[in-house]
Copies of this chain bind each other. A is one copy, B any other.
Amino acid sequence: MDAVSRIEAALSSALQRADGPPCPPKLLAAMNHAVFPRGARVRPRLCLAVAAACGEDNPIVAETAAASIELLHCASLVHDDLPCFDDADTRRGMPSVHRAFGEPLAVLAGDALIVLAFENFVRLSFTPQRMSALLSVVARAVGAPSGIVAGQAWECEEAVDLAHYHRAKTGSLFAAATCSGAAAAGVDASEWRELGEVLGEAYQVADDLRDAAADADEIGKPTGRDFVLGRPSATRALGIEGAMSRLEALVARANQAIPPCRGAADLRALIMLEAKRLVPKSLARHAA
Contact = CB atoms under 8 A, between A and B. Distances in A.
Interface string A138-180: 0110111111011011111100000010001000000000000
Give chain A's interface secondary structure class.
Answer: helix
Most buried by B among A22, A82, A111, A131: A111
Interface stretch (A2-10, A35-43, A117-125): A117-125
Interface residues of A, number: 60
Contacts of A147: 112, 115
A162 to B, nearest CB: 13
A267 to B, nearest CB: 28
Contacts of A105: 153, 156
Contacts of A26: 153, 156-157
A116 interface: yes
Given A18-B144, A79-B107, A135-B121, A24 B115 contact: no
A287 interface: no
A25 B156 CA distance: 10
A280 interface: no
Contacts of A131: 128, 131-132
A44 B101 CA distance: 34
Contact of A111 (B21, B79, B119, B157): B79
A114 interface: yes
A103 interface: yes
Nearest to A25: B157
Nearest to A111: B149
A7 B14 CA distance: 32
A135 B153 contact: no
A173 B132 CA distance: 23
Contacts of A143: 17-18, 111-112, 115-116, 119
Given A107-B107, A128-B132, A144 B114 contact: no
A139 B119 contact: yes
20 contacts: A19-B145, A20-B145, A24-B154, A25-B157, A27-B144, A27-B149, A27-B150, A27-B153, A84-B102, A84-B104, A85-B104, A102-B156, A104-B155, A105-B153, A107-B107, A108-B152, A119-B139, A122-B136, A128-B128, A128-B131
